[in-house]
Amino acid sequence: MRAFRSSDLEALRQLIHATIDVSYGDVYPPRAVQFFKDYHTDERILERHAAGSVIVAEHERELLGTGAIVGDHIMAVFVHPDHQRRGIGAAVMDDLERAARAAGRRSVCLDVSLPSRFFYESRGYANLRSCSIDVGEGEHLDYWTAEKHLDVGEFQQGARAGAPTRCGILHRHRAQLNAQTLGGQWGESHRSEK
């Protein structure tokens, strides 16, 4: 595991998009798959890198997995389909959760896609809310927001008691898309249920 470098950008985007195609293509409609790809652009990867920490799992100069943490929000955790179920995703999550503890975070949150629900639940994440984004033409992107309370141990002293979490990143992205160049292409409505 190592920190992302700008020279990784193209390979990292390709890894993310290949994972979306294979892992999400059978469970999400086409417009939702495209929404995920539009969310994980070069610009977004660089924004996450500037605002927080992006890590990559690498073997013999090949990127196998990735994840990011910005504040208390873990995001963009992907393992290339050819390397899934080998502990790489768990190793990425261990590093991200360790970074959160070191920063004094009492909890972390993330958005959970349909194919990753069991993985995150097995790691102790509790689904807080089910969400659905209207991506147009009657298609929806369904997901959950989830949170995990961390055993921060020695790092607990620096944590802010009662610090709010920032879950629901995908909904904010949808709103930004509507306000920008897509001119509402992804639809104006979404529903969220507790």
Instruction: Kindly tell me if the per-residue pLDDT of 180 is higher than 90.
Output: no
pLDDT at 167 > cutoff 90: no
Among residues 137, 138, 135, the alpha carbon closest in space to that of 170 is found at 135
pTM > 0.85: yes or no: no
- pLDDT, average across residues 7-21: 97
Instruction: Show me where the domains of the chain are located.
Output: 2-193
pLDDT at 34 > cutoff 60: yes
| CATH classification for the domain delimited by 2-193, as one of 2.40.50.360, 3.90.550.10, 3.30.465.10, 3.40.630.30 | 3.40.630.30
The mean pLDDT of 30-46, rounded to a whole number, is 96
Mean pLDDT of 85-91: 96
